[in-house]
Amino acid sequence: MTIAIKWYGVSVRNGKESGEEMDVISVNKFRDNLKSLVEQVISRHEPLKVTRRAGEAFVIVSAEDWEREQETLHVLQNRDLMQQIAVSLDTHGKDLGYTPDNEQMNEITGI
Protein backbone atom coordinates (compact mmCIF):
# COMPACT_ATOMS: atom_id res chain seq x y z
CA MET A 1 0.00 0.00 0.00
CA THR A 2 1.47 3.35 -1.07
CA ILE A 3 0.69 6.19 1.31
CA ALA A 4 3.02 9.12 0.75
CA ILE A 5 6.68 9.16 -0.17
CA LYS A 6 9.08 11.89 -1.15
CA TRP A 7 10.13 12.47 -4.74
CA TYR A 8 13.37 14.32 -5.42
CA GLY A 9 12.50 16.09 -8.63
CA VAL A 10 12.61 19.55 -10.05
CA SER A 11 10.56 22.11 -8.18
CA VAL A 12 10.03 25.82 -8.81
CA ARG A 13 7.35 26.38 -6.21
CA ASN A 14 7.58 29.41 -3.93
CA GLY A 15 11.30 29.92 -4.20
CA LYS A 16 12.25 26.29 -3.66
CA GLU A 17 15.46 25.19 -5.27
CA SER A 18 15.63 22.49 -7.90
CA GLY A 19 15.81 19.06 -6.34
CA GLU A 20 13.63 19.78 -3.32
CA GLU A 21 10.94 17.34 -2.37
CA MET A 22 7.43 16.98 -3.75
CA ASP A 23 4.90 14.76 -1.97
CA VAL A 24 3.87 11.71 -3.98
CA ILE A 25 0.72 9.64 -3.47
CA SER A 26 -1.07 6.85 -5.31
CA VAL A 27 -4.19 7.66 -7.31
CA ASN A 28 -6.24 5.37 -5.05
CA LYS A 29 -5.11 7.19 -1.90
CA PHE A 30 -5.71 10.50 -3.67
CA ARG A 31 -9.26 9.48 -4.60
CA ASP A 32 -9.98 8.32 -1.02
CA ASN A 33 -8.74 11.62 0.46
CA LEU A 34 -9.57 14.06 -2.33
CA LYS A 35 -11.03 16.87 -0.23
CA SER A 36 -8.30 16.97 2.42
CA LEU A 37 -5.49 16.62 -0.12
CA VAL A 38 -6.84 19.45 -2.28
CA GLU A 39 -7.12 21.64 0.83
CA GLN A 40 -3.51 20.73 1.69
CA VAL A 41 -2.27 21.69 -1.79
CA ILE A 42 -4.07 25.03 -1.61
CA SER A 43 -3.15 25.95 1.97
CA ARG A 44 0.51 24.87 1.80
CA HIS A 45 1.12 26.16 -1.73
CA GLU A 46 2.88 22.88 -2.51
CA PRO A 47 2.12 20.61 -5.47
CA LEU A 48 1.19 16.95 -5.08
CA LYS A 49 2.31 14.28 -7.54
CA VAL A 50 -0.27 11.53 -8.07
CA THR A 51 0.97 8.23 -9.49
CA ARG A 52 -1.09 5.73 -11.48
CA ARG A 53 -0.27 2.05 -11.76
CA ALA A 54 -0.91 1.83 -15.52
CA GLY A 55 -0.26 5.35 -16.71
CA GLU A 56 1.62 8.57 -16.38
CA ALA A 57 1.59 10.48 -13.13
CA PHE A 58 -0.01 13.91 -12.81
CA VAL A 59 0.49 16.90 -10.53
CA ILE A 60 -2.13 18.77 -8.50
CA VAL A 61 -1.45 22.48 -7.98
CA SER A 62 -3.68 25.36 -6.85
CA ALA A 63 -4.99 27.77 -9.48
CA GLU A 64 -3.26 30.67 -7.72
CA ASP A 65 0.10 28.88 -7.79
CA TRP A 66 -0.42 27.82 -11.43
CA GLU A 67 -1.11 31.42 -12.48
CA ARG A 68 1.94 32.65 -10.56
CA GLU A 69 4.16 30.08 -12.27
CA GLN A 70 2.75 30.95 -15.70
CA GLU A 71 3.55 34.62 -15.06
CA THR A 72 7.08 33.69 -13.99
CA LEU A 73 7.57 31.59 -17.12
CA HIS A 74 6.34 34.48 -19.26
CA VAL A 75 8.87 36.84 -17.68
CA LEU A 76 11.71 34.33 -17.98
CA GLN A 77 10.94 33.72 -21.66
CA ASN A 78 10.78 37.43 -22.54
CA ARG A 79 14.33 38.39 -23.52
CA ASP A 80 13.67 42.16 -23.54
CA LEU A 81 12.07 42.08 -20.11
CA MET A 82 14.91 39.99 -18.68
CA GLN A 83 17.45 42.46 -20.09
CA GLN A 84 15.51 45.34 -18.53
CA ILE A 85 15.50 43.54 -15.17
CA ALA A 86 19.26 42.91 -15.43
CA VAL A 87 19.95 46.58 -16.20
CA SER A 88 17.70 47.67 -13.32
CA LEU A 89 19.47 45.33 -10.90
CA ASP A 90 22.85 46.60 -12.06
CA THR A 91 21.76 50.22 -11.70
CA HIS A 92 20.31 49.53 -8.25
CA GLY A 93 23.47 47.70 -7.17
CA LYS A 94 25.56 50.73 -8.12
CA ASP A 95 23.09 53.07 -6.35
CA LEU A 96 22.56 54.95 -9.62
CA GLY A 97 18.80 54.53 -9.89
CA TYR A 98 16.17 57.24 -9.84
CA THR A 99 14.99 58.34 -6.39
CA PRO A 100 11.65 60.17 -6.29
CA ASP A 101 11.23 63.14 -3.96
CA ASN A 102 8.71 63.08 -1.08
CA GLU A 103 5.89 64.54 -3.15
CA GLN A 104 6.37 61.94 -5.88
CA MET A 105 6.54 59.15 -3.27
CA ASN A 106 3.26 60.34 -1.76
CA GLU A 107 1.69 60.31 -5.22
CA ILE A 108 3.03 56.81 -5.92
CA THR A 109 1.92 55.37 -2.59
CA GLY A 110 -1.37 57.25 -2.46
CA ILE A 111 -0.62 59.00 0.84
- Domains identified in the chain, total number: 2
* Judgement on whether residues 93 and 48 belong to the same structural domain of the protein: no
- What per-residue confidence (pLDDT) applies to 67? 96
- Answer with the one of 62, 81, 97 that is the final residue of a domain: 62
* Judgement on whether residues 68 and 52 belong to the same structural domain of the protein: no
* Judgement on whether residues 49 and 77 belong to the same structural domain of the protein: no
**Domain carrying residue 18:** 5-62
* Judgement on whether residues 52 and 94 belong to the same structural domain of the protein: no
Mean pLDDT of the chain: 83
Q: What are phi and psi of 95, to 5 degrees?
A: 55, 40
The sign one gets for the Cα dihedral 78, 20, 16, 47 is: positive
Give tens-digit pLDDT for 4-52: 333 333 333 444 444 557 899 999 999 999 999 999 999 999 999 999 9
Report how far Cα 100 is from the mean position of its chain's Cα atoms: 32
- What per-residue confidence (pLDDT) applies to 19? 52
* Judgement on whether residues 57 and 76 belong to the same structural domain of the protein: no
Residue 53: pLDDT band with limits 50, 70, 90: very high
* Judgement on whether residues 56 and 86 belong to the same structural domain of the protein: no
Task: Kindly state the percentage of the chain with pLDDT values over 70.
Answer: 82
The rounded distance, in Å, linking the Cα atoms of 27 and 31 is 6
